[in-house]
Amino acid sequence: MERKKINNIASVAIIIRASNPSQIFIELKDDGYPMKTFRRCLCPIGGNWIGEAAKCDQNPLDTVRREIMEEICLEKRTASTIELDLLGIKPGRSFYQVPTIDQIPTSDDIKILDELKQVIAEGLVPFGDYINTIPKSVLDRSDPENERDGFSALVSYWAVALDEQRWKEITALQEKFGNLSNESITLVTSVDEIIEVGVKTAFGHDRPLKEFFLCYGLHSAQQFPLINGISSQEIGKPLASYQEYLERYEILKKPKFL
């Protein structure tokens, strides 16, 4: 049986408030993000199974945990586009600046955030695997000079619901620093606010997020903003190992040792 071709595998976390699951801690790609189509778009925190850092990942859970530990921090620096280049996205430059504010974290701030990351990483439960397909026509709409072909990515979605103490901690840090990511802009928002503002979601994550919120009984999520032309296909729960994915799919972009 011929294996379906997939550009890459990604793994992301949906971080919500347990007492009010319509509230979410998420990232926003800023105006400097190399892919013009997804500028000013929301994106769950996580990343791709690709590059040197991913060599030790055994499965999508390893990947999303690693990304949480790497990405959520109080140190702001220029973000590398090496991973985008490995994915074939042709970012055009090697680095882009992540917005920050002039605040010096205390030792308590750093400790609280480290504990939060551990709670998030250990509390993740599987939501589902989806194949998100972004046609070239979608990329061309926002970027007439786009040279990148369309692509399909297999994305593992995980969820964690933070209790009130942890939610207050993460929102307090967010309010103090304005950004808790070294790759994008973090924010605390809600389903209703996303709908009211009409902000879109990057990389085909919009449809799985809509389904996630509907599973929580949030009927307003029927109006969740979607990018026209993108499709998402649910394919089951995350698998136990990347070897299983390699047996089922032809993964075009993956760690070099494979």
| CATH number of the domain to which 197 belongs | 3.90.79.10
> How many whole angstroms separate alpha carbon 67 and alpha carbon 54?
9
How confident is the model at residue 103, as a pLDDT? 81
Range of the domain at 141: 4-251
How confident is the model at residue 76, as a pLDDT? 64
Residue 119 resides in a domain: yes
Q: Which helix (H) or strand (E) holds 161?
A: strand 151-162
pLDDT above 90 covers a percentage of the chain that reads 81
Instruction: Kindly indicate the confidence band of residue 201, based on its pLDDT and cuts at 50, 70 and 90.
Output: very high
How confident is the model over 23-52, as pLDDT tens digits? 999 999 988 888 999 999 999 999 999 999
Domain count, the chain: 1
Residue 74 resides in a domain: yes
pLDDT-wise least confident of 67-76, 88-97, 119-128, 241-250: 88-97
How confident is the model at residue 216, as a pLDDT? 95
Residue 242 resides in a domain: yes
pTM (2 decimals)? 0.91
Kindly state the DSSP code that residue 108 receives in the 8-state scheme: H
Residue 86 resides in a domain: yes
How confident is the model over 114-144, as pLDDT tens digits? 999 999 999 999 999 999 999 999 999 999 9
CA distances from 41 to 26, 115, 121 (A): 10, 28, 24
Radius of gyration of the chain (CA): 17
How confident is the model at residue 258, as a pLDDT? 58
Residue 256 resides in a domain: no
Give the torsion sign (CA, 41, 148, 72, 63). positive
- Please check whether residue 175 is in contact with residue 25, taking contact to mean a CB–CB distance below 8 angstroms: no
Residue 190 resides in a domain: yes
How confident is the model at residue 83, as a pLDDT? 52
How confident is the model over 145-174, as pLDDT tens digits? 898 999 999 999 999 999 999 999 999 999
Residue 257 resides in a domain: no
Residue 258 resides in a domain: no
Q: Is the pLDDT of residue 63 over 70?
A: yes
> How many whole angstroms separate alpha carbon 234 and alpha carbon 132?
9
131 or 257, which is more confident: 131
Q: Which helix (H) or strand (E) holds 95?
A: strand 95-97
- The residues pairing with 128 across neighbouring beta strands, listed in sequence order, are 157
Q: Which residues contact 162 (CB under 8 A, 6 or more apart)?
A: 15, 16, 17, 18, 25, 119, 120, 123, 170
